[in-house]
Amino acid sequence: MIIQNSKEAREHPVIKEFVQLVRETVGDGVIDFSHLQAYPFMKFWPNFSLVEYLENEDDFRSIMCGSALADAFGRDQTGKKISELEFGEIKDGMRQLHFDALQGEIVYASCTFAFQNREHRKWHQVKMQMTHSGRTNETVAVIVFE
């Protein structure tokens, strides 16, 4: 089960640092993909999940899966859709986190799950809306595993 508004996620030092950097960069605005390519954001790249909403399919596709996430999941998920991934009982919750972020919320969440029959892992994340090439149909998340 996904815990939304997770205190653990909100207080995780990596997540706090990322959110502070976003605020310093765009204030109350929306982060743009070009910002994420700048030096201060590079330290978060291994923990990035960039996902775009495919309106015509009502699905989400990973456009970047950081190396720390690929290691935790046992594979790179770049190019995969949520509907194709084995998130089991949390799949609907994962979709909802993306929808909430697309509406402009900063979403903090924690969960423990097994991915592809691997051992259970607890993760914490922050997810938010992102603009890319003038469109606002993507989310950026920083995900950390215990």
Please say if the pLDDT value at position 122 is more than 80: yes
Please say if the pLDDT value at position 115 is more than 70: no
Where are the domains positioned within the chain? 3-145
Mean predicted confidence (pLDDT) in 89-93 = 68
Task: Determine the pLDDT at residue 70.
Answer: 86
Mean predicted confidence (pLDDT) in 15-23 = 98
Retrieve residue 77's tokens: 């998920």
Mean predicted confidence (pLDDT) in 77-94 = 75
Retrieve residue 51's tokens: 């996902």
Task: Determine the pLDDT at residue 127.
Answer: 97
Supply the pTM of this predicted model.
Answer: 0.90
Please say if the pLDDT value at position 117 is more than 70: no
Please say if the pLDDT value at position 26 is more than 80: yes
Tell me what the pLDDT averaged over the chain comes to. Answer: 89
Q: What is the pLDDT of residues 4-16, one digit of tens each?
A: 999 999 999 999 9
Out of 3.40.1710.10, 3.30.565.10, 3.30.450.20, 2.60.40.10, the CATH code matching 3-145 is: 3.30.450.20
Task: Determine the pLDDT at residue 91.
Answer: 63
